[in-house]
Amino acid sequence: MKIPNRIQPLVDDGLIDNVLQRLKSGKEADVYTVMCGGKVQCAKVYKEASQRSFKQAVQYQEGRKVRNSRSARAMQKGSKFGRKQQEEVWHTAEVDALFRLAKAGVRVPEPYMCLDGVLLMELVTDADGAVAPRLSDVILSQEEALTDFATMIRNIVRMLCAGIVHGDLSEFNVLQDEHGPVIIDLPQAVDASANNHAESMFERDVNNITQYYGQFAPQILETRYAKEIWHLFEDGKLTPETVLTGLFVEEVHAVDMDSLLDEIISAEDEYYDRQRAAKERDED
């Protein structure tokens, strides 16, 4: 096939031997299978900001650190150099997340390198060596769903313990290899402690996964892992080995209606007292 313009420099430098086929055209990148030194790998080619359809990029970038102060200032000003730096941060975010998560024991594609907006990484395959399907294209038995859901929850816990929230996790961003689910697509991953939207993103991620597996094992829909896991994380009690129950009871504080009514009546009395006092001053 014709070599994409973004991949051509890697071919010229001998990092890629040949482009085999395009696997996917997504909202933030196109994905190709490529031959590198006799081995089939995956090349993820990030789209320019003007071509990406991924929305709300600003809230995903909140809390990301930029080592170079000049770059940080340029990004804040929105200059041409700053926009270029912002693109590099967006590209490297996935690479950094992949390395951190692989080290934390999360099943993700092994990253190799990221150069000029092209990420080279492991090609995830099924038991027959074919490209692994997305979870959205897989039909599971109830037993398989229960097993894989437990694996996903454990991986999500490991991710959070590593300080990362996926931010866009669903059955469309998970592959199914011969051993189970593999989490992919992490350029929008956020810092769990530094991003104000992390909790809502985390809850959405977990709920998406729960809804998917719940199609095959309805009892999964009764779990409340998102609330339980985040509560433990906030309390500093979450570890990769933490035993979870899937249950969570939110604290409910009883309202003292008598005291509340007394406060309302007292506030009304104060209001009318001020009104009378003002009226008397006007008459004087």
Tell me which residues are annotated as active site: 168, 185
Q: How far apart are CA 71 and CA 59, in angstroms?
A: 19
Q: Which residues contact 115 (CB under 8 A, 6 or more apart)?
A: 9, 10, 15
Q: 261 φ, ψ to 5°? A: -65, -40
Q: 167 φ, ψ to 5°? A: 95, -15
Residue type, 178: E
In sequence order, what DSSP letters do the residues of the chain get, joined into one string?
-PPPTTTHHHHHTTS--EEEEEEEE-SSEEEEEEEETTEEEEEEEEPPTTT-----HHHHHTT---S-HHHHHHHHHT-HHHHHHHHHHHHHHHHHHHHHHHHTT---PPEEEEETTEEEE---B-TTSSBPPBGGG----HHHHHHHHHHHHHHHHHHHHTTEE-SS-SGGGEEEETTEEEE---TT-EETTT-TTHHHHHHHHHHHHHHHHHTT-GGGGG--HHHHHHHHHHTT---TT----S------PPP-HHHHHHHHHHHHHHHHHHHHHHHHHHH-
